[in-house]
């Protein structure tokens, strides 16, 4: 199926746009042939023509063609918005690049980094110490083949169906999968692919570390409007996991965990209430993220007690029995 072609910002495109703008602004009346020779390695005028249309459509540049002078000009004063970045905004761009370093091995990071480098290529002196004042916490970094990420990124751009061999988290048996890739997700240093599995006739989450023999096919798919993983989480914000059913959770928290649970938004519809008679705080919410919610409750140790659903209460009790047995109690 034919896909709608979208404009993609790259540092090379931005560089061409700014150079074309300067030629027109400075009254040189350039034409596409001259601009292609200067800024597109003489590879033809089609790219330059698209750039000019892009300036008109996206930046509302008042560009017209003067047939007597055989070149383009502005009908009124015009400046590119990115030429007027304040020092504060430039500083913000530098900080954004620093915060994106968890994506360093991806093509996305490379393109964004190049764009930021191009936009901030000024005499502005940035305090490198200040940039480190806002950062991300260190997390384990799982080793994934850069070429694998690059191929998945290409498939995302082209809406291309991919095939690969896969071994699951619990089932080590290798199976062949054919998937419509929807989103690449980064969580705690791990990369996951969220997409539609033709074998399962449903959406699934795949760990990139468990993929082998990836092939980007020539087949394409139509990206559904509700493709985002968040639409499958049932309202929960517990990470990269979703089951096919939504549960209603009710959990009690005690002592220091009471303030912890009140300090975050854990789900879209969460309700938090204090019970001072029992000296606890109770949270209720819905989510499809069964495994992640269970991990969250267990991570609170003796300061959290699930009340619903029943499967979580039973599983929590089994974990306690296992811990007691391990401790020799």
**314 and 241 within one domain:** yes
CA–CA separation, 159 and 144 (whole Å): 22
CATH of the domain at 317: 3.30.70
Residue 283 lies in a domain: yes
Establish if 5 belongs to a structural domain: no
Is 240 found in the same domain as 252? yes
Give 105 or 236, the one with higher predicted confidence: 236
pLDDT computed for residue 16 by the predictor: 86
Specify whether 166 is located in the same domain as 220: yes
Q: At what angle do helices 11-25 and 32-39 cross, to 10 degrees?
A: 130
Statement: residue 204 has pLDDT above 50? yes
CA–CA separation, 285 and 222 (whole Å): 33
The reply to whether 141 falls in a domain is: no
- Give residue 120's pLDDT: 60
Q: How confident is the model at residue 105 (pLDDT cuts 50, 70, 90)?
A: low
Answer yes or no: are the C-beta atoms of 174 and 165 closer than 8 Å. yes
Domain that holds residue 116: 85-131
Residues comprising the chain, all counted? 329
Share of residues in the chain with pLDDT > 70 (%): 80
Q: Could you read off the pLDDT of 25-59 as tens digits, one per residue?
A: 999 999 999 999 988 876 779 999 999 998 998 88
pLDDT of residue 113: 74
Q: Do 237 and 322 have their domain in common?
A: yes
The string of pLDDT tens digits covering residues 56-84 is 988 889 999 999 999 999 999 988 766 55
Domain harbouring 199, CATH code:
2.30.30
Domain match, 238 and 226 both = no
Q: Are residues 199 and 176 in the same domain?
A: yes
**What is the reported pLDDT for 58?**
82
Give the chain's domain count. 4
How does pLDDT run across 114-130, given as a tens digit for each residue? 767 666 654 445 555 66
In a domain, 4, yes or no: no
Last residue of a domain, one of 67, 82, 97: 82
């Amino acid at each position: 199926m034919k896909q709608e072609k979208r404009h993609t910002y790259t540092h090379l495109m931005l560089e061409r746009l700014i150079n074309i703008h300067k030629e027109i602004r400075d009254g040189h009346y350039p034409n596409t042939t001259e601009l292609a020779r200067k800024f597109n390695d003489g590879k033809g005028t089609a790219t330059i023509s698209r750039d000019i249309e892009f300036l008109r459509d996206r930046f509302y540049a008042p560009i017209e063609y003067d047939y007597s002078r055989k070149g383009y000009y502005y009908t009124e004063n015009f400046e590119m918005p990115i030429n007027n970045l304040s020092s504060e905004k430039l500083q913000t761009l530098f900080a954004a690049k620093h915060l994106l370093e968890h994506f360093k091995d991806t093509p996305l990071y490379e393109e964004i980094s190049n764009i930021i480098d191009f936009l901030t290529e000024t005499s502005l002196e940035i305090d490198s110490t200040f940039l480190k004042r806002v950062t991300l916490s260190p997390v384990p970094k799982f080793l994934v083949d850069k070429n694998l990420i690059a191929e998945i990124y290409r498939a995302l751009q082209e809406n291309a169906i991919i095939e690969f061999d896969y071994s699951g988290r619990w089932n080590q048996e290798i199976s062949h999968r054919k998937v419509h890739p929807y989103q690449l997700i980064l969580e705690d240093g791990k990369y996951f692919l969220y997409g539609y599995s033709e074998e399962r006739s449903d959406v699934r989450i795949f760990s990139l570390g468990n993929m082998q023999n990836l092939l980007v096919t020539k087949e394409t798919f139509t990206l559904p409007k509700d493709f985002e993983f968040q639409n499958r989480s049932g309202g929960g914000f517990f990470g990269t996991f979703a089951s096919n059913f939504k549960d209603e959770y009710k959990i009690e928290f005690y002592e220091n965990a009471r303030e912890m649970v009140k300090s975050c938004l854990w789900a879209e519809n969460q309700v938090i209430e204090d019970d001072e008679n029992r000296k606890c705080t109770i949270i209720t919410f819905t989510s499809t993220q069964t495994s992640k919610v269970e991990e969250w409750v267990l991570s609170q140790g003796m300061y959290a007690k699930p009340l619903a659903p029943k499967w979580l209460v039973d599983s929590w009790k089994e974990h306690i029995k296992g811990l007691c047995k391990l401790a020799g109690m």
